[in-house]
Amino acid sequence: MDFNLSEEQVMFRDLFRDFAEKEVAKVAEHTDKAEAPPLEVLQKAAAQGFLGATFPEAHGGAAMDQFTYGLLLTALARQCASTAVTVALHTSLVGMTILEAGTEAQRAEYLPRLAGGELGAFALTEPEAGSDTRQLQTRAVLAQGGFHFDGVKTWVGNGGPAGLFLVFAATDPARRQDGISAFLVDAAAPWLVVGHREPTLGLRGLDVRTLYLEGGPLPEAARLGPLNGGWALAEQAQARFKLALAAISLGVAESALDLGVRFAIERKQFGTAIAQKGALQAYFADATTEIEALRHLTYYAAWLADQGQPFAAAANRAKLLGARIAKETANRMLQVHGGYGFSDEYAISRVYRDSRALRILGGTDEFVRFLIAQDVLQDAGVAIQP
Amino acid sequence: MDFTFSPHHIALRRMLREFCEEELRPRAKRLDQTGQPDREVLRQMGELGLFGVPFSQKYGGMGAGETGYCILMEELNRVCPSTATIIGAHIGIGAMSLYLDGSEALKQKYLPAICAGRHIAAFGLTEPNAGSDAAGIQLRAVPEGDSYYLDGQKMWITNGPIADVVMVLAVTDPALGARGGATVFAVETKWDGFSVGKPEKKMGLHGSPTSLLNFDGVRVPKENVVGQLGLGFVTFMKTLDIGRVSLGAATLGGAQAALETALRWVKVRSQFGRAIAQLQSIQFMLADMATDVEALRSLVYRTAWLVDNGQPFIKEAGMCKLLGSEIASRCIDRALQIHGALGLSRDFHLERGWRDARIAEIFEGTNEIQRIVIASELLQEVGVRIRP
């Protein structure tokens, strides 16, 4: 066993924290109020290699392992959850899928663009396909000149600013999940219409859109992975995204605890700083305990991924736990703030709103519990259905 | 990072799993019912070297470190919490205080017998008026010639009725009290003036005897002072700090056992025309249990690694104990719920597990004390000092 971060990981972690504290912290409040991603900061992140974190250097990336990339997301989320999720969607769902499933030509074309700051968006969810994405309504039909599309995608994060969309559509609807394919669509495609900006409770800096796909053609060369092989790509992408969300939850929980502790040191009631009150100390103790457990479960899942071992089971657990701990820590630390916690003038209210999304985004708690139960019951020889 | 266990630790776990399944599991129910430790099984454990797992081979230990000790506690508690508690009091706090701060001569005097299981050790801190506020101890040690004479009582002492040697914290300088005026003594239970109260009747851990200890002018030679005169409280607090890691490991074993038991049952129990494994409310309980167990495992073995690598671990040790005891209680409660009425039956082992688990939220520092320890360490990092 060795729980030390490598020298390189420590160096990167310090670099990420430095960037997040210097660049991201100051735009976090504005990002939330303006309900728009901090595009200038994202360009600076791209210049640092952070938007191609896990891509090979040959494709403009920084060649980080999953573990180090997780450290990046935690550092970003500690300052601004919206920014971290923007980067995670872009990297874990879009970029990494191209890296894993793309042809050499596709990698060479798209990865440098993404690493250079053009945002990626992942279009899987539909009005009738939330947790259950087995039967997509969006169709892609091969006709003259390539694929022609018809359908609606909802909850597409990065939808507004994205330059590239990874779109999933049914190419053989009768075969349900075995008839889904993945496509790379430029935002410039005239038949792709970016629609309604979804107003949200939290993660307001994440640009969430409805997407209308009305026509074509998309050249066959823009299909990602095998025809009718899209389902597996979506599953792998979502497993990676759960790992990313665990790292983000860790950052959100850390930021909430940090805000709570700082407030409690400054705030005086009954003649002492409220940090001296046993009731509040218990909140801090529980929060930091849960954060430490989450940290090492997240590290373990990322380490498995980097070892080339199956990591989805650990990532699911870390995602479920992370969502609960981020939400619970933010809730407790809002309580520590008393009335100030309810004020938009204090960052904890934003962190609290942001934390709520983590129990839904990337798989609802309920669906993730199903996946975990499926895993433990499979080990016990029982197959279950959602 | 490397989350892989060493081959040595993997082999230790394999040996323990086999021993626990073959020797311990068949006896666990009887231990609960009779309230008597099983001397035969303790003898076997001594032969396997299990009484000295973390200690250096120089003293007859196995040399498997804190990580090896956590594996031991996890595996024992997975099958028999009473036996795990005997070992925990023996190694984790009893012998540990001697191992941490004892003189070389005193370690040579007692540790070989302790590691071989010929001497059972205990840890004497708690008194009728000193529970969470351990600094309130009153047991007195008065010097006379080349000895000290001990008078007073210790309470809730695990292994009290079976111990051969007890590490006892006594006040040597009443003016200073626990902080600067308390000293640890290694006391042999065969010495005059030492007597044991009746075994306590407890809700759980029936196979792990607990009792009051009476010290009525017990003469202890000066060479049996453990560590420095007056600094015994520090020795005992250090001991408790490290003990919390392995206690966390024990709770991990308890939680793991609950999950395993539940998984076996949901396959075979049928309601509404199908195995209850197919019911989503059951699946969700299993998912939460599996998630908690995995998180606890990561925390415990990382903390053990901190100990083995000489890094600060006090905050993390408190976390292992706090989180572990709550996770174990929750997992066992859920497993019981999944079993319905069978969970309450004394013919089945879950109700025993449920009773056995509760104490982990109380002993070796209540969870309220753990929260103070953790908050104190956390706030110290940002420059704030707190008092309980």
Please report the residues numbered 248 through 287 in chain A whose beta carbons come closer than 8 angstroms to any beta carbon of chain B.
Answer: 261-262, 265, 273, 275-276, 278, 281-282, 284-286
Are B306 and A3 within 8 A, CB to CB? yes
3-class SS at B226? Answer: strand
Q: Are B75 and B84 in contact (CB under 8 A)?
A: no
Which of A257, A377, A382 is the best residue to mutate to test the B interface, defined by the most B CB atoms within 10 Å of its own CB? A377
3-class SS at A262? Answer: helix
What are phi and psi for residue B268, nearest 5 degrees? -100, -20
In the CATH hierarchy, which fold is given to the domain comprising A121-227? Butyryl-CoA Dehydrogenase, subunit A; domain 2 (2.40.110)
Are B294 and A297 within 8 A, CB to CB? yes
Which of A13, A292, A367, A379 is the best residue to mutate to test the B interface, defined by the most B CB atoms within 10 Å of its own CB? A292
Report chain A residues whose CB lies below 8 A from the CB of B280: 370
Measured CA to CA in angstroms, residue A193 lies from A187, A212, A221, A224 at distances of 8, 5, 21, 21
The reported pLDDT for the residue numbered B185 is 98
The reported pLDDT for the residue numbered A180 is 98
Residue from A342, A320, A286, A356 nearest A81 by CA? A356
Q: Which residues of B are identified as catalytic? A: 364
Are B386 and A296 within 8 A, CB to CB? no
The reported pLDDT for the residue numbered B163 is 98
**Residue B212 CB: number of other CB atoms within 10 A?**
20
pLDDT digits (tens, 9 = 90+) for A275-290: 999 999 999 999 999 9
Compare all CA atoms of chain A with the CA of B259 and give the residue at the minimum distance: A376
**ipTM, 2 dp:** 0.87
**pLDDT reading at A93 higher than 90:** yes
pLDDT digits (tens, 9 = 90+) for A238-273: 999 999 999 999 999 999 999 999 999 999 999 999
Please report the residues numbered 34 through 53 in chain A whose beta carbons come closer than 8 angstroms to any beta carbon of chain B.
Answer: none
Q: Give the minimum alpha-carbon distance from B113 to chain A in angstroms, rounded to a whole number.
A: 31
**Domains within chain B, CATH numbers bracketed:** 7-120 (1.10.540.10), 122-230 (2.40.110.10), 234-381 (1.20.140.10)
Pairwise CA distance, residues B243 & A205, whole Å: 46
The reported pLDDT for the residue numbered A175 is 96
The reported pLDDT for the residue numbered B11 is 98
3-class SS at B212? Answer: strand
Q: Is B12 on the interface with A (CB under 8 A)?
A: no
The reported pLDDT for the residue numbered A300 is 98
Class in CATH terms, A7-119: mainly alpha
**pLDDT reading at A60 higher than 80:** yes
Q: How do the domains of chain A map onto residue ranges?
A: 7-119, 121-227, 232-379
- Fold agreement between A7-119 and A121-227: no
The reported pLDDT for the residue numbered B60 is 97
Q: Are B90 and B122 in contact (CB under 8 A)?
A: yes
Compare all CA atoms of chain A with the CA of B8 and give the residue at the minimum distance: A1
Question: What is the overall mean pLDDT for chain A?
Answer: 97
Would you give per-residue pLDDT tens digits along chain B (388 residues)?
999 999 999 999 999 999 999 999 999 999 999 998 899 999 999 999 999 999 999 999 999 999 999 999 999 999 999 999 999 999 999 999 999 999 999 999 999 999 999 999 999 999 999 999 999 999 999 999 999 999 999 999 999 999 999 999 999 999 999 989 999 999 999 999 999 999 999 999 999 999 999 999 999 999 999 999 999 999 999 999 999 999 999 999 999 999 999 999 999 999 999 999 999 999 999 999 999 999 999 999 999 999 999 999 999 999 999 999 999 999 999 999 999 999 999 999 999 999 999 999 999 999 999 999 999 999 999 999 987 7
The reported pLDDT for the residue numbered B387 is 79
Return the bridge partners of A166, or none. A122, A184
What is the CATH superfamily name and number for domain A232-379?
A: Butyryl-CoA Dehydrogenase, subunit A, domain 3 (1.20.140.10)
Q: Where are the beta strands (DSSP E) in B165-289?
A: 165-171, 182-188, 194-196, 210-221, 225-226, 270-271, 274-275
**pLDDT reading at A310 higher than 80:** yes
Pairwise CA distance, residues A94 & A183, whole Å: 11
